[in-house]
Chains A and B, each alone.
Chain A
């Protein structure tokens, strides 16, 4: 078996294979739903209804999509430069910690000053968290996949330590939970009365900005060049390591915004279950979006919809919610295969 590049893929190819990937994902999910003793149509229908079927459901999906847009962007930016940041989870929590530290009364500023200050500080902290693995990569050649993964565990333990120690809310009765943010530090709602905060708006703006950076700036050009062919980039005079470090700062900062927006927008305080793996799910979001920042928004909505829908489906018919994760993992694997098949022909010789 051999792969042969296709010069100009036809539209059937570029649309057909991803479509087949999605359809087979749905078929596999249906099979599992049947094994779990439910009718596949009702399961899929319930997921859809649970995600977008009512105003409440749609808002829930948008809220769930917000951190995923941030982590999806973080991963998309990093992967574009072939910086394998699997540590968005850690960067998210660090952003959340900074939000809590600055937002629970340490600074007596008004909202207009406090919120941007916290966001910037959170970004900076998240960026620093990714800087260490990036430095180890550029300086010692240590694979950042493993270091960022391991740091996720370290940071989570560190957060647990803070929540049982200095950040613990004395009123929380032994529960590991931080104090509540002061109201000046909370992100306002976009529309009064609708449960959707400005974190979502910030996520959309970020996606637009990242798209501008990638297509219109020298940094974006450099990041793509380094990602595609590091050797040629270095030969041409692109400072590869500096580009990687800039990428890390951007990526870590974006992931930290996810933590900031969850705490300041949605939860109001920090607990250890702030993120049900948003950092890891960001990888799926980014890959489904083919690393395109604008498509990240769509992919995040899709992924969030599946999660929110699966929750309500599970409550209704008792099929375990893990079905959502299986569906996404399958979609991810199928999609990378499909994308490859749009660009290469398989020859059996």
Chain B
């Protein structure tokens, strides 16, 4: 393995954003035909490093060599033509164009007449064959599934004759089965002499596919190892820097049902499916985990419980009573704490200060306002209490929230919704993008809410997180909900089968 030539060399890459050093003198080499797993927590500097390699950022110092040639800084075009292809975590596809158009985009001189559709198509079909990447070149990208879109991204790189593939968290959006297909494609690529950098924080995937592991922590390269000579436990320790202990969950008696969905159907939202005749019961003192590949109806469920949409059919019962008028405000008044999926877009208003954000859901109630007049003093006191209780690190309540880190922003949201002692907690991807400290804190808060008798719904794409925290797991696929599985009654692989859409009772789905 070590005799293969070096195809990519990163030499002392350093990049700082203000006082934060995102990459601190990072060096490593990628050899022909190997897979390097780039392992690290969120915020460890993986994405920054790849953005430098790809020319989206310019490094403060250090250089990148591809096939022995130094890459000019800050030039994505040069990186592409040197043979580096990147599959971003967030797909970079234009929905209103076809697969073929997306693939040929940027590969031809702009001033050419025509783009040789027929020739391009036959080449794409050849690649589809060679790498087992099944997609129709003439389909509109907007109509494709997430897995198919990822294949288009890989095709884009291959079409440009990429010899080095960088995959940024590619499995986050895939079912375990789709992940296997992706690995098969990767192996075909390796056999054809390509090299791969695989970015992930999922240890079992790293051990399954990579030859070597490079671990980043707080912007520094902390370890480099041959995968075979390590194990998951060692990797986890290297990544986190301390012994990882899964949260301790004590079993407790389950109380009455606080939230019930009775055969609820909601309309589809564009390409995202709505709920299909969903039955769900969440009881006091229980965490219900909702597993599933993103875009399978999780948003519909979150929107429904959060008050943004109403059932088209069926009933939603809160605290044993039917919800006839249902709105976000009604949800808040019924004691539902909502932790939104996207804290930047829906959870907070970035140019508002902490106080204004803290009362976003409560401003219309006494004591925060009276007869239409705001009581800013009360609001500030409330915010100060949240900042103290939930350890929000900030210069003060008048700071604009956009200046806070993701973790502190999430703590403010937690404080805002938990401070009112909610009876139901709806946590939608509550730890996405958080570092390990904040993540642990959020999990502890969710468990604490459960332990004092709240009913908790946890939606996450991370199956490990679901398995670790949930008392009962439901799998959601294309808007259908699986029966509840008690803690420990199903393995991850079995849940994966459900996530891929198998096992659902077809008759009940059609009854919707």
Q: Do chains A and B touch in the complex (CB under 8 A)?
A: yes
24 intermolecular pairs with C-beta atoms under 8 Å apart: A7-B18, A7-B403, A217-B372, A217-B373, A221-B356, A221-B374, A225-B352, A225-B356, A228-B351, A229-B345, A232-B345, A232-B346, A234-B308, A234-B328, A235-B308, A235-B338, A235-B340, A235-B347, A236-B328, A236-B360, A236-B361, A237-B307, A349-B58, A349-B73
Q: In the complex, which residues of chain B have a beta carbon less than 8 angstroms from the beta carbon of A7?
A: 18, 403
A218 touches B352 (CB 8 A): no
Within the complex, the shortest CB–CB distance from B134 to chain A, in Å, comes to 35
Q: How long is the Cα–Cα vector from A331 to B212 in the complex, in angstroms?
A: 59
* Pairwise interchain contact B349-A228, C-beta atoms closer than 8 A: yes
Taking the complex as formed, is A233 at the interface, i.e. its CB lies under 8 A from any CB of chain B? yes
B392-413 vs A, CB cutoff 8 Å, 1 = contact: the mask equals 0000000000110000000000
- The total of chain A residues at the interface (CB under 8 A) is 21
CA distance A237 to B331 in the complex (A): 9
Check: A216 CB closer than 8 A to any chain B CB. yes
Q: Mark A338-349, 1 if CB is under 8 A from B, else 0.
A: 000000000001
- C-alpha gap A228/B401 in the complex (Å): 13
Prevailing SS type, chain B contact patch: loop
Query: Out of A5, A217, A233, which one reaches B349, CB within 8 Å?
Result: A233
How many interface residues does chain B have, given as a range? Answer: 20 to 34
Q: Quick check: A232 and B351 within 8 Å, CB to CB? A: no
Contact A349 B74, CB 8 Å, known A218-B373, A221-B374:
yes
Instruction: Give chain A residues whose Cβ lies under 8 Å from the Cβ of B307.
Output: 237
B140 to chain A, nearest CB (A): 22
Partner of B328, one of A5, A219, A235: A235
Q: Name the A residues within 8 Å of B306 (CB-CB).
A: 235
**Choice from B73, B327, B331, B363 contacting A221 with Cβ under 8 Å:** B363
Tell me the interface secondary structure of chain A in the complex.
Answer: helix
Is A5 touching B332 in the complex (CB atoms < 8 A)?
A: no
A231 at the interface (CB under 8 A from B): yes
Q: Is the Cβ of A219 less than 8 Å from the Cβ of B372?
A: yes
How far in angstroms is the closest Cβ of chain B from A294?
A: 18
- Contact (Cβ within 8 A) A231 B374: no
Chain A residue nearest to B368 in the complex (CB): A218
Q: Is the CB of A232 within 8 A of B349?
A: yes
Q: How far is the CB of A291 from chain B (nearest CB, A)?
A: 13
Report B-chain residues with C-beta under 8 Å of the C-beta of A225: 349, 352, 356, 360
Q: For the complex, give the distance between the alpha carbons of A308 and B399 in Å.
A: 42
A218 to B58: give the CA distance in the assembly, Å: 45
Besides A235-B338, A237-B307, 20 more A-B contacts (Cβ < 8 Å) are A216-B374, A218-B369, A218-B373, A218-B374, A221-B363, A224-B352, A225-B352, A228-B351, A228-B352, A232-B348, A232-B349, A232-B360, A233-B360, A236-B361, A237-B331, A237-B332, A237-B364, A349-B57, A349-B58, A349-B74
